Amino acid sequence: MNIKIKLELASGQSLAGMPLELLRDGKVIGRAKVPAGGLVAFEAPAGAGPLAVRVDRSGVRAF
């Protein structure tokens, strides 16, 4: 299954390079990094259940 989303921040800041995780029922089923344009595509196995996207901040340093 291919899922595409467009990400934009209201502040206008860039999300480029930010790692994302696609979750189904709270379990990671896909990973992607936000490209410069903000259009992210996930390749995920087909299945039923609620989906969510979260930022993987485990490797992100605070500034």
pLDDT at 56: 76
All residues at 6 or more sequence positions from 23 whose CB lies less than 8 Å from its CB, including other chains: 29, 51, 52, 53, 54
| Per-residue model confidence (pLDDT) at position 14 | 84
Q: What is the pLDDT of residues 18-44, one digit of tens each?
A: 999 999 999 999 999 999 989 999 998
Backbone angles phi and psi of 52, in degrees to 5? -150, 155
pLDDT in tens, 38-63: 999 999 899 999 999 998 777 666 55
pLDDT computed for residue 60 by the predictor: 60
Nearest-angstrom CA–CA distance, 55 and 63 = 16
The residues facing 20 across adjacent strands are: 32, 55
Per-residue pLDDT at 49 = 94
pTM: 0.78
Tokens of 52: 């969510």
Three-class secondary structure of residue 47 per DSSP = coil
Q: Where are the domains of the chain?
A: 2-55
